[in-house]
Structure 1
Amino acid sequence: MRQTLTSLSLQTSGEGFTDLTARLDAEIGGSGLAQGIAVIAVQHTSCSLTVNENADPRVLADLGAYLRALVPQRGVRPISGQGELRPWLHDDEGPDDMPAHIRTALTATSLSLSFDNGRLLLGTWQAVYLWEHRAQPQRRRISLHLIGA
């Protein structure tokens, strides 16, 4: 058994999805490990990771629309929909700051995925995405911990 720990850096284009699959596979392939587990973790509190469909871009558009509806930028109302809008208190980095933190809390900041023959074991229509929750482009860092043989 061996392990490696790598840090990846990437630039997002703002809110939306960045496919990480090819980059992760390249790191896994270059590690010298053929089979094992990859622990992928994003090191930020306003973006997340997801495994989702890579064939129809409407899936990603619908996911984004759903999360924006669930966590609106302007603030929160009671679940019943009745009552006053309560603006977010935390807005140190702009109006999308607190919604991004909540969206991250509702999704995932790490994934554990198996790999074989130097590639992630994903389904035919699956990809690993960084899901950016901030409106503006961001520099993001991801740790990739590989354990295997």
Structure 2
Amino acid sequence: MIEILDIPVRGQGLHPITDRLAPLLARAGADEGLCTLFIRHTSASLLIQENYDDSARVDLENWLNRLVPENDPLYSHTLEGPDDMPAHIKAALTATQLSIPYRDRALLLGTWQGVYLWEHRHHAGARQVVAHLP
């Protein structure tokens, strides 16, 4: 089964999508398998991260923004704004796909793990994540 999820984003940051995966697992053809997620964009990524304390995600976002700043004079790709090239670099440094095992139609994530879409641009809108489950 392949489904495309439209994920609304409010702008830059980590947006939780774990809850969006539960209905897919309920409809999956198998009780166990591997859920593969792929983001169809070059300026956003996917991440498994702390789902309990928001400060962990804030710190991660702040750290990556310091590592890959906007308005760096090295950038020549500036047509789409000062956040575009840093977003491409951030996506290259992080993951555009994840594979998560599931059993009894539930993701086998750890107690404090959640799945996130990591938006690297400032704009609000929607991103697409392709989910594949056997």
Q: TM-score, normalised by structure 2?
A: 0.96
Which residue of 26, 29, 33 corresponds with 1:29?
26
Q: Report the equivalent of 2:105.
A: 118
Asked if 1:8 is matched to 2:5, the reply is yes
Aligned residue pairs total: 134
Residue identity opposite 1:137 in structure 2 = A
- Cα distance in 2 for residues equivalent to 1:30 and 1:93: 39
Alpha-carbon distance, 1:92 to partner: 2.0
Name the % identity. Answer: 43
Superposition RMSD in Å: 1.0
> Rg: which structure is higher?
1
Q: Report the equivalent of 1:102.
A: 89
- Cα distance in 1 for residues equivalent to 2:107 and 2:79: 38
Q: TM-score, normalised by structure 1?
A: 0.87
Matches within 5 A, 1:67-78: 67-75=64-72
Q: Report the equivalent of 2:61.
A: 64
Structure 1: segments with no counterpart, 5+ residues: 76-85
Matches within 5 A, 1:76-95: 86-95=73-82
Q: Runs of 4+ in structure 1 displaced over 6 angstroms?
A: none
Alpha-carbon distance, 1:98 to partner: 0.2
